[in-house]
Homo-oligomer: A and B are copies of this chain.
């Protein structure tokens, strides 16, 4: 079992944004000029009808949009190309988003980080090498641990948007972390007080039913939940109750990420195109322990068939009722043979 923490180097950019380089790196070229955050308005506003916070971030309209590879802001810096990463070589990096939805110290509170999985521009989460995947497990764990302990942070949300169909503007393999200064609505509903852990019961139900289970291996379980909102939604979780990444040993975290990667690979095989998806990792909020906080990862792939997107339209957006064109059992049957 690996226990050594990943080495981390902290750098503060001229505009005050933090960069964390994980593992080995080489300094940037001599002409490096850090990109700087544009002025903007960052607020949170209370929506009394929906009873939720809305984040207003009025400088993001100018954000980098699908740059060509030579101008990728997530690649290593080189002569005449200063990226977000002040290094000419790195293993993994995290930096505070230059076009954030929240900024610490502003009225929005909270913060937004970008997690660069690797210095390699090509590829995706699905194609990360085993060592890059293990490193990412430790990066996510480190970020969760640090952010959840910040006084202004209530919930740490690790996620990935993948594909232009979900609004991705950069192709370099990366994910994001939002550190919300309040409890987000989805977490509030999932963590509603109950006597026992709901997630534990749901996992037991799926395992005893078996019809929708995709992975049950090394303490990690993946399944298409019977109540999926998205046609090929998959949940990946720990079989026993674990609150968050730091509650797992490194080998357990590696097992989780490895299962997640198998899901992502199966998705890419499903319609023989890179599957656009959202990945959402739900972990314990800050503050006192909750019996309901059980680490789980939800994948929402947005294709319902070859070339056909699942749209969130009137029923989903205006009434909050999802319509799923597929039976979860059939989705599981279709995905299962695609797992390596």
Contact = CB atoms under 8 A, between A and B. Distances in A.
Interface of A: 41, 45-58, 60-61, 101, 155, 157, 159-161, 166-168, 176, 178, 180, 184-187, 189-190, 192, 198-199, 202, 225-229, 278-280, 282, 298, 300, 304-305, 309, 311-315, 317-328, 330
B321 A185 contact: yes
A185 to B, nearest CB: 3
A4 B53 CA distance: 45
B54 A178 contact: no
A112 to B, nearest CB: 9
Contacts of A324: 54-57
Contact of A319 (B41, B186, B192): B186
A50 B189 contact: yes
Contacts of A199: 49
Given A55-B322, A279-B318, 9 more contacts: A47-B225, A52-B321, A56-B326, A57-B323, A57-B324, A101-B315, A159-B314, A180-B319, A312-B312
Nearest to A65: B308
Given A319-B180, A324-B57, A325-B58, A313 B278 contact: yes
Q: Is the interface of A mostly helix, strand, loop or mixed?
A: mixed
Nearest 5 pairs of A and B residues by beta carbon: A280-B318, A167-B311, A185-B320, A159-B314, A47-B227
B189 A318 contact: no
A298 B320 CA distance: 14
Contact of A185 (B168, B198, B319, B330): B319
A197 to B, nearest CB: 12
A51 B190 CA distance: 8
14 contacts: A48-B198, A50-B227, A52-B322, A54-B229, A60-B325, A61-B304, A61-B326, A157-B315, A161-B311, A167-B313, A186-B320, A279-B314, A280-B314, A280-B317
Nearest to A322: B54
Contact of A323 (B51, B55, B311): B55
A278 B56 CA distance: 21
Nearest to A298: B318
Nearest to A100: B323
